[in-house]
Chains A and B, each alone.
Chain A
């Protein structure tokens, strides 16, 4: 009898234990599912908000915005960005950004890229925790100061003449902009940082004047233990793309984003080419307004053809190609001034 009572008592406890465990597992599952769901929801909300922010920043040029974000990692590639596990297409937008943004604040800076007509907005993204160091000597001081002044004030930027004065401030990424030969000594102070978090560009032909040249060469570097490893040479066309190289982490992404810009340049040039052709036909041969429009069509067409080629081959054609595009740009500008002088409809 006593034994039977004991078994009954034990069975009750075992039953409670099993039922309790089932209830416990059920609620743990519900909580886990909800946690995953809310993480996805938060990421999706940030993606949507970021899309609106990017659209806003794209349509208002020459503006700097500081956006507060929840603490999330935002990964950037040439054609898409990631928030958590959620990817989003960048679409046709031209965005220069580091591979990873970790901060709670996002700095957005938008500039027009004009060739000489407006082609697209370049959007630059960074984070105040990301450090940009412009390294110069006495010869390149004025151009370094010019670049420094043009970059947004909100950025974590500094000018350094003596690289030995450089101190590690434990930023999660550091980018050097060398206006002198890259110095390996600085890397000993950043030995605790991952190689991909320390990058540099060298503006090899920036010159010594205080005007940023319209075209130039950019060599990309990445830290490889205690030395700088060259990642290749590319080129910029107008200062907006030079700023793009400052914001982009590596050469491949910079080249890819520039190809997107050339695609847009090709499309916009097609529009202006047809517009000028139609305008010159409307004005008629021999009229005062015919000449600027028909003359402008030559450089516009050249721009169209060259940009189509750069779309596939950038940066293989080198600096001469960038200089040629710069010349077309000047020619179109001159014809536009002539159209204005004759009181005709403008080219752009």
Chain B
């Protein structure tokens, strides 16, 4: 009788222990699921943020390029907005290559080029996702302006017309 009661109590205790462990197991599984779910959401929002930052940077670089004194047109040192001096551009393409380490700090891995849209339409139209900024180009000795688009894509640094 006594042995029977002892056995029953033992079994009861084992069942209780098993219950507690099962509850803990399920609890931890739920925690892990929650954590994985949370991480996935975080990953998604981080991706969007990174993309936003890249776009912001691209616009920043394009802005910096259009305000570079090495390229910008000026009249008596008064800046002409959205205008590139052709002679400066010619000189800059060599200067930028010779000082690529210095300019890397500004342009990073960007590829920047100008494309003529008027009167002669340009042929480089493949980079449709690039940041496009309309500008004019000045031929200082001829007092002539051509209309161009300044393009910028985060690849490499290069200038051509």
Which secondary structure dominates where chain B touches chain A? helix
Is A268 a contact of B87 with CB atoms below 8 Å?
A: no
Q: Which of the candidate stretches A112-120, A234-242, A319-327 sits at the interface with the other chain? A: A112-120
- In Å, the complex CA distance between A279 and B142 comes to 10
Contact mask A48-67 → B, CB, 8 Å, 1/0? 10011001001100000000
Is B77 a contact of A275 with CB atoms below 8 Å?
A: no
Say yes or no: A270-B31 contact (C-beta < 8 A), given A55-B60, A91-B106, A118-B69.
no
Within the complex, the shortest CB–CB distance from A103 to chain B, in Å, comes to: 25
Pick the contact of B13: A8, A268, A275, A282 (CB < 8 A): A8
21 A-B pairs with CB atoms under 8 Å apart are A1-B6, A8-B13, A16-B20, A30-B35, A52-B56, A52-B60, A59-B63, A92-B103, A92-B106, A114-B77, A118-B69, A267-B99, A270-B95, A271-B69, A271-B70, A278-B87, A278-B90, A279-B141, A283-B141, A340-B76, A345-B140
Closest chain A residue to B5, Cβ basis: A1
Contacts of B103 in A (CB 8 A): 92
Within the complex, the shortest CB–CB distance from B67 to chain A, in Å, comes to: 4
Contacts of A51 in B (CB 8 A): 60
- Verify if A348 is at the interface (C-beta below 8 Å from B): yes
- Verify if A171 is at the interface (C-beta below 8 Å from B): no
Is B77 a contact of A89 with CB atoms below 8 Å?
A: no
Closest chain B residue to A121, Cβ basis: B67
Is B53 a contact of A267 with CB atoms below 8 Å?
A: no
Is B64 a contact of A55 with CB atoms below 8 Å?
A: yes
Say yes or no: A15-B20 contact (C-beta < 8 A), given A8-B13, A58-B64, A282-B141.
yes
Is A267 a contact of B56 with CB atoms below 8 Å?
A: no
Is B106 a contact of A271 with CB atoms below 8 Å?
A: no
Contact mask A11-22 → B, CB, 8 Å, 1/0? 010011001000
Contact mask B74-100 → A, CB, 8 Å, 1/0? 111101000001011011100100010
Is B74 a contact of A117 with CB atoms below 8 Å?
A: yes
Is A275 a contact of B102 with CB atoms below 8 Å?
A: no
Q: Specify which of A5, A52, A114 lies most central, judged by the most chain B CB atoms within 10 Å of its CB.
A: A52
Contacts of B53 in A (CB 8 A): 48
Pick the contact of B87: A59, A275, A340 (CB < 8 A): A275
Within the complex, the shortest CB–CB distance from A120 to chain B, in Å, comes to: 7
Is B91 a contact of A271 with CB atoms below 8 Å?
A: yes
- In Å, the complex CA distance between A227 and B31 comes to 62
Within the complex, the shortest CB–CB distance from B138 to chain A, in Å, comes to: 9
Q: Specify which of A263, A274, A279 lies most central, judged by the most chain B CB atoms within 10 Å of its CB.
A: A274
- In Å, the complex CA distance between A260 and B70 comes to 16
Contacts of B79 in A (CB 8 A): 118
Within the complex, the shortest CB–CB distance from A173 to chain B, in Å, comes to: 29
- In Å, the complex CA distance between A91 and B110 comes to 15
Within the complex, the shortest CB–CB distance from B15 to chain A, in Å, comes to: 12
Taking CB atoms and an 8 Å cut-off, the chain A residues in 27-79 that contact chain B are 30, 48, 51-52, 55, 58-59
Number of interface residues of B (CB under 8 A): 39
Pick the contact of A59: B13, B16, B17, B64 (CB < 8 A): B64
The 9 closest A-B pairs by CB, nearest first: A91-B105, A274-B91, A345-B140, A59-B67, A275-B87, A118-B69, A55-B60, A271-B91, A282-B141
Q: Specify which of A5, A114, A345 lies most central, judged by the most chain B CB atoms within 10 Å of its CB.
A: A345
Contact mask B143-156 → A, CB, 8 Å, 1/0? 10000000000000
- In Å, the complex CA distance between A55 and B143 comes to 31
Within the complex, the shortest CB–CB distance from B130 to chain A, in Å, comes to: 19
- Verify if B24 is at the interface (C-beta below 8 Å from A): yes
Within the complex, the shortest CB–CB distance from A344 to chain B, in Å, comes to: 8
Within the complex, the shortest CB–CB distance from B39 to chain A, in Å, comes to: 11
Contact mask B8-33 → A, CB, 8 Å, 1/0? 01000100110010001001000100
Closest chain A residue to B69, Cβ basis: A118
Contacts of B85 in A (CB 8 A): 275
- In Å, the complex CA distance between A112 and B70 comes to 14
- In Å, the complex CA distance between A340 and B69 comes to 20
- Verify if A256 is at the interface (C-beta below 8 Å from B): no
Contact mask B30-56 → A, CB, 8 Å, 1/0? 010001000000000000000001001
- Verify if A186 is at the interface (C-beta below 8 Å from B): no
- Verify if A166 is at the interface (C-beta below 8 Å from B): no
Within the complex, the shortest CB–CB distance from B56 to chain A, in Å, comes to: 6
Pick the contact of A345: B16, B60, B141 (CB < 8 A): B141
Closest chain A residue to B16, Cβ basis: A12
Within the complex, the shortest CB–CB distance from A111 to chain B, in Å, comes to: 13
Is B69 a contact of A117 with CB atoms below 8 Å?
A: yes
Pick the contact of A120: B31, B35, B69 (CB < 8 A): B69
Pick the contact of A346: B60, B67, B76 (CB < 8 A): B76
